[in-house]
Amino acid sequence: MAERRGGPITVIGVSLGGLLARDLAFDHPDLVRQVITVASPFRLPTTTNIELLFHLVAHRYVDGFDYQRLGGPLPMPSLAIYTREDGIVSWESCRSDEPLGQNAEVAGRHMVICRYPEVLRLVSARLAAPIAGDQSR
């Protein structure tokens, strides 16, 4: 996608997809412009109703998958969208405290969070906003 676009791309992930987006950004920082996560529990320790399942299948993702690095600071800007009403993952584990990270709290439940207008507005605004030093727009 970055090659087709002619430069770094924005990677957006919801829930587990946010963990995969962060993993991709760590592996290919030159190809990722920014990362947006929605209801993604990337900070450890996390509490989630499905944490046991995550640990059981994480090793099937790739050999040597280091899920602990997912909570480390990304080398590019990020936006973490979370909700205290989630019901699946702990909202505290979905927040960023990294230097280039921003957080946005919304109302809503985990399973339908992508349907909420506020989430769509936040993602759209972030996609349209310039990033300091970004020459790829």
Locate the domains of the chain by residue range.
2-128
Higher confidence at residue 67 or residue 3? 3
Give the pLDDT band (50/70/90) at residue 54.
low
Locate the DSSP E strands across 15-109.
32-38, 78-82, 101-105
Tell me if 32 sits within 8 A of 25, measured CB to CB.
Answer: yes
pLDDT of residue 45: 58
Q: How many CB atoms lie within 10 A of CB 110?
A: 22
Residue 99 C-beta-side C-alpha neighbours within 13 Å:
4
CATH topology of domain 2-128: Rossmann fold (3.40.50)
Q: What's CA 12's distance to the chain center, in Å?
A: 6
Render pLDDT for 74-94 as a digit per residue (tens, 0 to 9). Answer: 999 999 999 999 988 889 999
The CA distances from residue 48 to 42, 43, 63, 80, 134, in Å, are 11, 11, 24, 17, 35
Q: What is the mean pLDDT of residues 56-77?
A: 75
